[in-house]
Every structure is written in structure tokens, then in C-alpha cells.
Structure 1
């Protein structure tokens, strides 16, 4: 029994060993076979990869749908992990690209500008226009014929069996031909040639056009089993260009084989042939003898003129802006008010202002502040300013006609000596100054000369003089100490002035047929009892009346009255005084 079990155990071990040997051998064989298959498959896939991707993407668009998110995610992950590296990599590249783009733009702009000028405004350009007109072709076509050895103007891709246009591409969008019409005409011409010039030994359809030449261009026709490629060329097509046409045609036939086989009139699948057809739009310029020495002088000159004009315009704008800024920073003198200030263009400034006649001229004021007034258009309106500074200037100007007078602008007081007739004239002039009452000029210090009054003056002059003297009397005040009614020695001059003025008023009143009376009003402050203050104010008025009667005033024309205490805010000393007022009435004839 034990021997059987031992034998069975040995047999099992042998089978396991054989299985291990078998797996080792088979695994090596499988890996070798797999390697060979992968190598052959790689070569096979490499040969059809482009066509396979194109076919699958044309069928359901799945290639782009799969690759696009994969590429996007891959780029996104790379940028997130190596963001700074990407910045370092792209920074010099972007700067270089920007500089290169700017340089290419300016170079291309100058060259194009130079070409436009040479072809349009030079003697050669005018000559070409005349020749184009004589030849009955457009100027652009003639320029192309004179500039290029050859240029492919348009390429057409035509389905061979049906003659339908599959796709077309033109070098210029301005002078393109109707592609469908050209395709139909070529099909008809090709069929005509095949039917008319076929030899008996040739099979039907073997005759094909290879080239059609006209006065303006040449059609080069290349055919493949299922598609025709046509190129409209001006000039003489080079061998390189013909080889490119043939190569492009073969590529289209190979890549779009399935689409051409299943073509049923829908040309949309062939829209993607633009990249291949673009390679056929070749052009080769004529070599010039002095090409190495050629410089785009016209372009540089035009660009230089543009910069000069731009600099001239910007300079004018800058100067105008500077003038406006300087005027805005100035403080106008008294009597000038700026209403509006603006620039209406280059070297054009609009200035609206108000000016008092006594103020300096606006242009003079601007010139004194180093402002160019040549291009300032001024709209000035005359007005009468009530600015105290302007009124003071007018008062000073008026008083300057009287050398014996002094005017203190700070204290607003007028002093000196003046004949009474001139004083009346000066007062009349001052009253005509708008707003002069705002200054409250004190004329009490003016000494009036010439006691005798010339009564031969006109009625209007006497009237004005009468009013002036009455006003002068009302400005005189006699002050007292608190509780006192006696006159001080310093009040004698004021009493003399009142007496002198009133005597002149009486003389003028007689001339004007009036009666005049002098009223003396006494007052006191609010300290003490009211009854005592009433008696004190009356006593002060009586004392002044007696002093004036002693100076020659008629007692019957001088009246005194006491008004008692006057309670005013501020300094109570201002209420301890005697005031004067002249009351007059017209007499009946």
C-alpha cells in the first residue's frame, strides 16, 4: 500500500515537472512569436496609419473625439505639475515671437507700400496701366504677368467620372473665376477631344487634354484614375510646379480613395483638401539684376512722411494742451472771470470770459504770463464787477484826479483838503461807481475849503451840493464819558465842522427855496436808571446846542432832543454820544 502511494506521488511530481518544462518552452515560443507579430504589425500599421485614421475620422469623427480630450488633459496635467517650467520655457519664446512678428509686420508693410507706390505712382506703374488698358486686361493681371515668371491663380479638383467640382482654391479672392463653370467647360472640352481625335487603335476615353493655353493664362490638367486636378497659371509653369501638381494629385487619390469610390454628388468630404491644394498655389518672381541692391526707398520715404505728419499733429495737440493747462493754473486778476476754457483742435483754444473795463486786457494778461495767444479765440463780455478789489481800483482812479486827497485802501478813509465845489463833484463820481457803498468810505477827514459858496451855479449843482453837505453833517458824532454831559477839548473840532457845514446848508437852502433846521439827538448807554439816562441824554443834546449857537447858528433853527438809553449789543461806549440830522422842507412861493 505504501509502495503504491509512493509510486503515485512520484508520478505526480514528474507530471508537474513536465508541465513546468512545457510552460517554459511554450512561453519562450509565444514571446518570440509575439515579438515577430508586433514587429510586422508595426510596419504594416505604419504604412496605412494615415489612411486608417482618415477613414475612421471620416466615418464617425471618433478620432478627434478621442484624441482631443486626451491631448487636452495631458497638456493640462503637464502645466499644473510644471507651471514654472512652462513659464520659463515660454517667456523667452513669446518675447522672441512678438519681436519677430513686429519686425515681420513692419518689413512686410514697407515692402507692400513700396510695391504699391512703384506699381501705381511711378513711371513704370503708369506705363503698366496703359499697357493693361491697351491689352484689355485688368491692371492686377498685367502686374502679375510682369512681376512673376509664373503664378498659379487657381486650382480645381474635379471628379473624373461625373465632371463635378469637388473643391477649388484661389490665390486671390478678387480675380477668381466661377469654378463650377470652368469645371463644366473643361468636362465638355475633354469629352469633345476624346470623341473627335481618338485613333482607331485606342480604346474609348483614352484621349485627355493636358494643357489649354489662352492669351491670359494656361490651364494645366493632371488626371488620376478617379480625380482631375486643374491649375490656372499665368506665365510659364516651371518643372517644379508641374511635379507639385502631380504629387498633390496622387496624394488626394490615395488618401481620399474611399470617398472617391463612394462619391454620389456630395462634395463636403473634400473640403479638407484645402491643405493639399494650398501647396499648388505656387509663384516664382522674376529675378532682377540689381535685386541685391534694391531697397524699398519708396516705402521708407512714405513711412518717414507718415511719422513726420504724426509727430507734427501730436506736437500741435501737445502745445494746445499745455496752453489750456497753464490758463487753468492761473488766478485771473480782479475784474476778469473765466467762464469756459476748452481746446477745439490743434492750435485752437476757445476762451470765454467776463471783463470789467478797469481790468487789464485779457490778451495782455495772458501774454504777461508767457502764454502764446496766437491761436486763442477769445469771446469776451463786458460787465461791471462788484469785487471789492475792483471797486477800490475805481475809487483810487477817481481820487487820482484830486492830488490834495489821500485814500487809505486798508482803512477805507479819505483825507486831505478840497474846495467844496470839487468835493461835490468827486462825491458825485464816487456815487456812480457800482457797489461803492460796500466799501463804506469815511470822508469825515476831508477838510472843505472856500467857505463862500458860488450861488450862481445851476439848480442841479446846488441840489447835489446840498445833499452832500447834509450827508456830511450826519456823519459827525460827539462822544461823552460815562455819566458825563460836559464837552471835552477834543470835541471842539467836530463842533466847528458841524457849524461850518450847517451855515453852508442854510445858504444853499435859501437858494433852493427851502427851510432847514438842525436837530441834535442825545443818547446814553443802558447802565444806571432809565430816568437818569433820559435826563442825561437831553442834557448832552442841550450842551451841544449851546456850543453851536455860540458858533453863529440861529437858535430858532437848532433843536435838541434826548432819546434816553440805547441798549445795543457789543461796546456800550458807542451809545454815549450826540448825533446830528438836518430836517428841511420846500417853501411855497
Structure 2
């Protein structure tokens, strides 16, 4: 049987609204489908047809709205911006309606990862966020701890030396608590009289609890005033919202304020509370917020949801510490006195023992050869260590008489060699073994050896002296004489040289001892002592002395005075003296003599010798000046090498004799005595000693010739000047013959 399926044609009726299905049309469609179903339809067509208009109509009737919504959602998912906007519209409501526990668990991992990444990326951002929150809390906590420390320190110092302090120290030892805790427990007396719990936002009073016998005004009024004061401070000083007043003090009353998330707990305390009370009040406020968090956050003046909160606050008003009225602690006082006596006795014995020990240490330190490096007293025992010379005193023997128990003394000494002079003297005596003729002694910190010893011992002593010079006392052996013959001779020779050097007019230029012979050379003034004569008494063989002296005129004032006296022949009215190295001429003299003295002064000034003639006064002898000038300008000349004048000089001698006799007679009439100095001169030919001798011989010859001519011998004086007073320079034969002469100088006394 063949059946045909006609297309379903149903009257269409529009649904009443977009969300409803046309139920009547759907029912007709289902009936038509059921009536036209042919069981063989699938087999005849070879399978299910690819499209059936009736099924499409059925789909439109059943899920057309869902298909439209699904298409819109698919389009929304393909557009991220539209999806984000749509989720943003519904997310706040969803989060608000979701249970808090489930929402927190769902968001916790994401929030933790976000915070962790933010910290890793920029730690400063989190610091800036948390800074306003944690800084006030940290600052407040540190301030409270510092106040608590100072409070504990002040109270401890105030009671440490009192009877209460002694009793409290015993209590501290008995209970195991620190002494400062016990002091604060008994010394800080306080009482919490009122506790106010005030809403942080509105300033409304949430709860109020008062202690027994505590009086106050209306709690609501007090709460409003506290809130007003806090708001005034914030507005006036631009304080942040999370900060608040901590403490208000008025007389014996203190108001402590602890700020919580939704409420502020204000405690009114009378007395001096410990800083640790802050922690107790803060714990009460924390428990209140834990139990009544939602009610405190939504508080609008209705306290019906805060039942039982006064019980929490009651714990604060029960906090107090009052002074106990116990009797006088006689037992404690007696025990304290006993302990004080025992401690005093122990301290006295310890002090006395220490004083004895210090006396012993001082005694050791004063001993030569002992150096105390370290000393102390430990556990009733005495310890001392240092350095000790083996020759020093025994430290153990020094303990006698100090009342220090030797059994408690522990010594440790290191041996060393002291540089004290007395110990060095002992070692030198032991090592050098000086002969009996040598004596060692300590003089002004030096070790001095005196006496006579062989040269071998002296060499050993010199070696010891060089070793000691490094850091020890000086060892002086200069006073030890060498008893060997060579040393004796050297000593005698040095004595002779020193004697020569001490003589005026003698300059030792060089002296030496060589091959058993003595050699000496230098300069000698003819007026100085004879070096050969000085050898007497020196125990030196003159035959072994070889001298070489060059004559010179010494500028020693003594020799200059002698030469001036000989050359100027000062009259008796003139006196030459040496004053402070200067030659002073004082008295009266003829003008000619004064002129000669002034000329000599000028000549001597060039050599550094001062001849002061400023105090000479002129002697008026005008009648003698002419004759005197004639005599002094007369010279007797000689041939070379001759001491007798030639025949041509005889008339000159005759005239000179007459002038001298006449001058002497006229001088006696004038009241002065005349003296005539005959000075012999020689030329520079030959040796100086020979010239000095020949000049003196010429003067003697002239004196003898004048005596023959009637001149009194006492009027004539002679001297030999040698080559030292030439009349003219000797640069020619004529100059030499002119200097071979005898000159006459007239002196008036």
C-alpha cells in the first residue's frame, strides 16, 4: 500500500508574547504527524530524508527563542569588549548576593597572586599603601614601651634603697619575677572608675560601665564631649582619621583612649597606672569587636543587638591596685640589718685583705730589679706576675710582715738582667774581677772605676763599657791609670804637652810619639817660658824629645805690655795695666812719648789689641823736646855681621854722648828722671836666633862705648829687637844696611 505524505498546513496563530509557545498550533501539528506516520516510510525512501519541512516547522515552534538567545551569547563571547562590559554590569550584584565565606574562598587565590605579583613588581607601592595604617600603630606601641620602661626604671630607682625595696627584692627572689615587676606591682596604685564605649563614626555612647562608689555626670554627655574634643583636635591639627587622642590627664585622673575599627574604648583611671594596663584595655576592645563586629558597624543608637557587652567592659573597671595596710615589717628590717652587718663585715675583711695585698705589691714595685707586670685578686686568691733580676730581693721573703697568707699567693716571675746601676756593678765586679788597686763605685748614676790596672784589664773594661752604652748606665774608666811602662811614658808626655798648652805665648801645633821618641812642634813667643825648662819634673828624658818651634809675637796682653814697656820706656809717671783684656795707660808723659804711645795703639789695633791712652796727660817739657828729638833721631849703623860700629860712627858716638849727658842733667832739673833705651837691630839675613843675638850684642857695644864717653851706666838700657822693628823694608842692599843699627829712645820717669 502506498501512502503519501502531504505537507502539513496548519493555521498559524501568533503567540500572545515572545516567551510563550502557540500551544494550539503545536497540538494540531503533533496530531497531523501522528496520523501521517507510515511505518514503511523509512524503508521505501532508503533512509531518513535529509530534510523535512515539518521538522523545521517543529523546531521553530519549540526552540526558536533559545536559538536566538544562543546566537546572541555566541556573538557576545566573540567580542571581548562587549563581554567585559556585560560581566561588569552583573559582577557587583553577584558579589553582593554571594555568601561571604564562599566568595572569600573563591577570590583568595587570585587576590594572593595579584598581591604577590604587585609586591614583586613594585614593593614601594605596598609600602605606601600600608604606611598610613601601620605607622601610627607602630609609633604608639613603641611609645608605650618606652613609657613603660622609663616608668619601671623610675620606680625601681626610687625604691631600690628603701625598706620596701628590700622586702620586694626578697619577693622577687621568692617568686622568680624580676625586681622591676615587683616594684611596679606595689608602687603603682590606681583604680579604673569608668569605661566608655563610643561609636567611632557618630560619637554615640554604645555602653558605659562604672566602678563601685564612682561618681560622674551624664555618661551620654561625657561621651559627646570626648567625641567633640577628639574632632576638634583632628580638625585643628589636620590629623588623619585613624589617629586619635591617647591620653588626657587632669590632676589625679587619666583618660586612656584605645581606638578600634568601629568603636573607641575610653577608660577613666584614678592614680598612677602601669603602662602595661594598655595591653589589658586593648584586649578587652579586641574581644568586643570580635563578638559584636556587625552590630558595632551598624550601630545607630539602638543597643538591642549589643546585649552582654557591659559584661565585657566590666573586666576593665575591676582593674585596680591599692596600697596594702600591713604593719611595720620588723622581721624584714631585722633580716636586712643582719644582712647589712654581715655584708659590712665581709666588705671590711675584703678591703683589709686588699689593702695588705696592695702594700705588698707596692713593696715589690719599690725593689730594684723587680718589675710587676700584672697583679689581681680573684676568688680570694692573689695572683702576681712580672720580671725579676736574679740578684734582686726574694719576693717570697718580702711577704713576711705583710699579714698576707703565702698559701693564697700565686707568683710567676720571669728572670731578666736589670740595668739598675747596683746590679750592673755587681755583674761587672763578678765578670771583670778588678785588681785590688781598682775601686768600682756608683757616682750620680754612673759606674766609675778609679785606680791602677794593667792594660789587659783596661781593654776588657773598655769592651764592657761599650756594651753597656747601648742601654745601661755609663761605665767610666777614664780614671784608671795604665801601670805598664809605655802607658806611664804616654801619661807623662801628655802631662808635659798639657803643661805647654797652658803656657801663654806657646801654641802646640802637633805632637806625637813614634818609635819611643817624642816629637812636638808649634809657635813660641820669645818672651814665653822655655819649653826645655818645662821638661823638668815630668820624668821624660830630654834626649828623646825633639822640638821645633817657630817664633812669633803673641798678642797676649801680658806679652804686649812687656814689649810696650821695652820699646816705649814709659816714664815713672806712667803706669801700664791690663783691665778686662785691654791695656790701659794712665799718668803724665811728655808729648813725644804720648805720640809714640798713640802710634803704638794704632798699630796694635790692627792686630785686635786695645791700647787705651785716653787717660794720658801731657807733661810740659818744652826745653827738653829739641834735645830729645836730636837724640832719638840719631842711629849708630853697623856692617853686616859686625857688633862693633865702624870708625865713621865714632864722631856720632861722641856727639850722642854729649847730648845724653846734657839731656839727663836738664831732665833732673825739670824733676824727671831720664832713661835711654838702646835698641839693637839686624837685617833679615841669617837665622832669627842669630839675628836676635847680634842685635842685643850691638846694643851692648854702644852702651859700653857711651860709658867710655862719660855717660852713667844706670841711664842706659839695652834690648835686642832682632828683625822685628825694621826701619825700612828690606828690598835692596841699602835697606839691609839701614836696618843694621842701634836706635835710642828717651824715656822720662
* Same fold? TM cut 0.5: no
- TM-score range relative to shorter protein: under 0.3
Quick one: higher RCO (CA 8 Å, sep 6+), 1 or 2? 1
Q: How does the TM-score come out when normalised to structure 1?
A: 0.23
Larger radius of gyration: 2
Query: Whose helix proportion is higher, 1 or 2?
Result: 1
Q: How does the TM-score come out when normalised to structure 2?
A: 0.18
